[in-house]
Amino acid sequence: MSQEDDTLTEAREQISDEHFVEVRYDEAIPNNVDLSSDRQLLRALQAWHPNYLEWWKDMGPDGFQDADVYLRTAVGVDPAGWAKFGYVKMPEYRWGILLAPKVEGRAIPCGKHKGEPAWQEVPGEYRSLLKRLIVVQGDTEPASVEQQRYLGKTAPSLYDLRNLFQVNVEEGRHLWAMVYLLVKHFGKDGREEAQALLERRSGQQDNPRILGAFNERTPDWLSFFMFTYFTDRDGKMQLAALAESGFDPLSRSCRFMLTEEAHHLFVGETGVGRTIEATCAAMKQAGITDPYDVQRIRALGVVDLPLLQRKANFHMSVTRDLFGSEISSNAADAFNTGLKGRFNEAQLKDDHQLQDARYTVTRVVDGRLVDEAVPALRAINCRLLDDYIADCQGGIDRWNKAIEKAGIDFRITQPHKGFNRRIGEFAGQRISPAGELLTEAQWAERQGQWLPGDDDLAFIGSLMKPCLQPGRYASWIAPPRMGINQQPLEFEYVRID
Ligand SMILES: [Fe+2]
Ligand SMILES: [Fe+2]
């Protein structure tokens, strides 16, 4: 039995002894929500916690559960000192409930209640919409852990293995953050939703995760880095929009989650960047300048750049689907009620109510792509997607700079918004990365240039050999610039016995 199980059992046995509970339970669950004095919340979390640990054992990282991992644990929300680094066994990670500090006098930032005091309790008339927003966000957190469950076995270095586990435990903590809101504010059905979050399974036929991209497989490390760059960035956008919520506890939860999300995006950007670096270095050394000389490049044990582009195309397109239909009455409701804002709501220079505003949405009309101004309220999802696409570009520019510096004539680009979409305005259309509408036959003929094929995935799979000696890195990925928390590159980030 792990240390945390012990603590929990003791806490449960001592439930009648208030003082003991206060000390011990606060120890097991770092929190700034005054957990020890909220008996009802404490009971609900005590009932949920063992099921969470069961889920983690069943669906969290396969293997390595007894390994000491050099992890960062959030222990407070003070910007200077919220994180502690040290060796932890993952099942004993101190998942906590941490809200960003309360902003005194905070007002609802958008929608028809704009300017009214932010809600500290669930607004009754919007209860089910609010609960749905929390459940959908909450569902993505354990889903990504499930998707990444087998990656440990093929890690390209201990440094990367540690980063994977850091991302995994933080996604676990994000689940805690949403479960806290459900059990604290939604009574019995909140508790039921909290349990259901542990029961859905990524990719499972009968009881899948709610959103499509979270049912895709993450079979290899290149997929993991693409996922953390592109799909965790959807997480960032959604959290940023929920951080603008008029429901203050949700806003405060999401504001703190965003600080953790930044690390996931870093793992993605540098993971893809280091892959590019290894490719460019190997090409240079072999005297190859043509990025399309694929056979010779692959023989060097690195990923050719056109394949990286196809992988990026896949991950970008499935992630764009996560934003939902570009034109959506649900999204209009979420904004209009003040439950969810836009990205950077506070910085936007408009009336934050959008009753008369319009927004341009690209649609397919009579076999042509047209830009149409629609009521901005109904185009909230489209706007968040556009903001997302803009947000993706920074890292891509940095990747391209590295390729350019190596003297290789190749650029990673973002495909047209309508490429390979299943949800929204472009669902059912065949659109090339350059934005041409295609017939089914044209698509069938050319899609292999744009999306990874079986041989691509088999090649990536062939590179996935574990490289777990301290300081060693697999051929296909360059070492990082810096270690974690100023530790050296050869630091034993995970102790595997
Ligand atoms: Fe997350
Ligand atoms: Fe994340």
Tens digits of per-residue pLDDT, 290-302? Answer: 999 999 999 999 9
pLDDT above 90 for 20: no
Between these two residues, 274 and 16, which has the higher pLDDT value?
274
Residue 17, CA distances (Å) to 12, 23, 40, 184, 416 in order: 10, 11, 15, 22, 61
Confidence of residue 75 (pLDDT cuts 50, 70, 90): confident
Nearest to 424 by CA among 333, 321, 330, 329: 321
CB atoms within 10 A of CB 39: 12
Instruction: Give the least confident one: 87-96, 315-324, 427-436.
Output: 87-96
If you measure from the C-alpha of residue 425 to the centroid of ligand 1, how many angstroms do you get, rounded to a whole number? 27
Residues contacting residue 267 through CB under 8 Å, at least 6 positions apart: 163, 164, 166, 167, 225, 228
Confidence of residue 92 (pLDDT cuts 50, 70, 90): very high
CA distance 408 to 479: 21
Nearest to 60 by CA among 180, 127, 141: 141
Tens digits of residue pLDDT in 116-138: 999 999 999 999 999 999 999 99
pLDDT above 50 for 493: yes
| Three-class DSSP labels, 272-326 | HHHHHHHHHHHHHHHCCCCCCCHHHHHHCCCCCHHHHHHHHHHHHHHHHHCCCCC
Residues contacting residue 495 through CB under 8 Å, at least 6 positions apart: 67, 68, 69, 87
Angle formed by the axes of helices 329-336 and 127-147, nearest 10°: 110
Nearest to 4 by CA among 30, 28, 21: 28
CB atoms within 10 A of CB 170: 24
Find the length of the chain.
497
Confidence of residue 27 (pLDDT cuts 50, 70, 90): low
Q: What average pLDDT does range 29-42 have in this prediction?
A: 86
**Percent with pLDDT over 90 in the chain:** 86
CA distance 334 to 324: 13
How high is the pLDDT of residue 71?
97
CA distance 303 to 298: 6
Ligand nearest the Cα atom of residue 137: 1
pLDDT above 50 for 483: yes
Nearest to 149 by CA among 164, 166, 170: 164
If you measure from the C-alpha of residue 285 to the centroid of ligand 2, how many angstroms do you get, rounded to a whole number? 36
Residue 432, CA distances (Å) to 130, 175, 371, 435, 442 in order: 37, 37, 17, 5, 10
pLDDT above 50 for 411: yes
CA distance 210 to 202: 9
pLDDT above 50 for 10: no
* Tokens found for residue 431: 């659109």
Angle formed by the axes of helices 454-463 and 305-321, nearest 10°: 110
Between these two residues, 340 and 42, which has the higher pLDDT value?
340
Write down all domains in the chain, each with its CATH number in brackets: 61-495 (1.10.620.20)
For 370, the enclosing helix (H) or strand (E) is strand 368-375
Confidence of residue 26 (pLDDT cuts 50, 70, 90): low
If you measure from the C-alpha of residue 418 to the centroid of ligand 2, how many angstroms do you get, rounded to a whole number? 25
C-alpha triplet 43, 48, 54: angle, nearest 5°: 145
If you measure from the C-alpha of residue 168 to the centroid of ligand 2, how many angstroms do you get, rounded to a whole number? 8
What is the layout of strands, in order, in the sheet containing 68-74? Answer: 83-89, 68-74, 494-495
If you measure from the C-alpha of residue 141 to the centroid of ligand 1, how many angstroms do you get, rounded to a whole number? 5
Tens digits of residue pLDDT in 212-236: 889 988 999 999 999 999 999 999 9
How high is the pLDDT of residue 1?
32
Helices then strands (H, E): number in the chain?
15, 5
If you measure from the C-alpha of residue 245 to the centroid of ligand 2, how many angstroms do you get, rounded to a whole number? 19
pLDDT above 50 for 17: no
Q: What average pLDDT does range 70-82 have in this prediction?
A: 79
Confidence of residue 3 (pLDDT cuts 50, 70, 90): very low
pLDDT above 90 for 9: no
CA distance 56 to 138: 15
Confidence of residue 94 (pLDDT cuts 50, 70, 90): confident
If you measure from the C-alpha of residue 33 to the centroid of ligand 1, how many angstroms do you get, rounded to a whole number? 20
Ligand nearest the Cα atom of residue 166: 2
Confidence of residue 24 (pLDDT cuts 50, 70, 90): very low
If you measure from the C-alpha of residue 315 to the centroid of ligand 1, how many angstroms do you get, rounded to a whole number? 17
Beta bridge partners of 364: 369
How high is the pLDDT of residue 34?
86
CA distance 34 to 92: 21
pLDDT above 50 for 52: yes
How high is the pLDDT of residue 267?
98
pLDDT above 80 for 356: yes
If you measure from the C-alpha of residue 263 to the centroid of ligand 2, how many angstroms do you get, rounded to a whole number? 8
How high is the pLDDT of residue 32?
87
Query: Is there a contact between 145 and 60 (Cβ–Cβ < 8 Å)?
Result: yes
Residues contacting residue 406 through CB under 8 Å, at least 6 positions apart: 280, 281, 283, 284
If you measure from the C-alpha of residue 171 to the centroid of ligand 1, how many angstroms do you get, rounded to a whole number? 4
DSSP 101: P
Residue in the block written with tokens 């909290």: 194
DSSP 104: T
pLDDT above 90 for 289: yes
If you measure from the C-alpha of residue 192 to the centroid of ligand 1, how many angstroms do you get, rounded to a whole number? 21
CB atoms within 10 A of CB 46: 17
If you measure from the C-alpha of residue 222 to the centroid of ligand 1, how many angstroms do you get, rounded to a whole number? 19
DSSP 228: I
Q: Supply the mean pLDDT for the chain.
A: 93
Tens digits of residue pLDDT in 223-277: 999 999 999 999 999 999 999 999 999 999 999 999 899 999 999 999 999 999 9
If you measure from the C-alpha of residue 171 to the centroid of ligand 2, how many angstroms do you get, rounded to a whole number? 6
Q: What average pLDDT does range 46-54 have in this prediction?
A: 93
If you measure from the C-alpha of residue 476 to the centroid of ligand 1, how many angstroms do you get, rounded to a whole number? 27
If you measure from the C-alpha of residue 124 to the centroid of ligand 2, how many angstroms do you get, rounded to a whole number? 30
DSSP 156: S
C-alpha triplet 80, 45, 236: angle, nearest 5°: 45
